[in-house]
Amino acid sequence: MLTEKELLTPDERIMGRYNAEFASKSGERYIPLLMPLLLLVTNRRVILQPQKRKHYEPASIPGRFISDVQEITLPRQGVAITLQDGRVLNLFVGWGRDNDLISSLRIIASLPPTRDYNMPLSFDHLQKLIDYMESI
């Protein structure tokens, strides 16, 4: 299992740590699946890491991919995370008396998308422009 330091980027901070497990919905019932997960909510994304000795790559869900978050109350506490493509991740989560998970997920889902700056000119074109301006 990777450490939190290995999972986070330099500008990320953890908003919450939870023990979770996937739940499969069958009719009106939710059936827990066997693999326990560490669910980390950061200021940018959700990280799901299997809690096994064998090395598994963690799943990372950026906040901009989350379209809706709903609470699951039967038969256990949990959360249904709806992704932009329509898929729903049902998770049983042991958050006890602290119900900040849903509000944290809604906060990161509402963040504006980050965009990388793309220069309109390549460095070669920029150098040609500089050379031309110097020759005038």
Give me the residue spans of the domains in the chain.
4-135
Q: Which pLDDT score is estimated for 10?
A: 85
- Opening angle at CA 87, ends 83 and 93, nearest 5: 75
pLDDT tens digits, residue range 31-47?
Answer: 888 778 889 999 999 99
Write down the residue that tokens 């939710």 correspond to.
30
Higher pLDDT, 112 or 12: 12
Its CATH architecture, for the domain 4-135, is Roll (2.30)
Q: Which pLDDT score is estimated for 68?
A: 94
pLDDT tens digits, residue range 69-113?
Answer: 998 877 788 899 999 999 999 999 876 645 688 889 999 999 876
Write down the residue that tokens 């040609």 correspond to.
128
For 47, list phi and psi in degrees, rounded to 5.
-115, 125
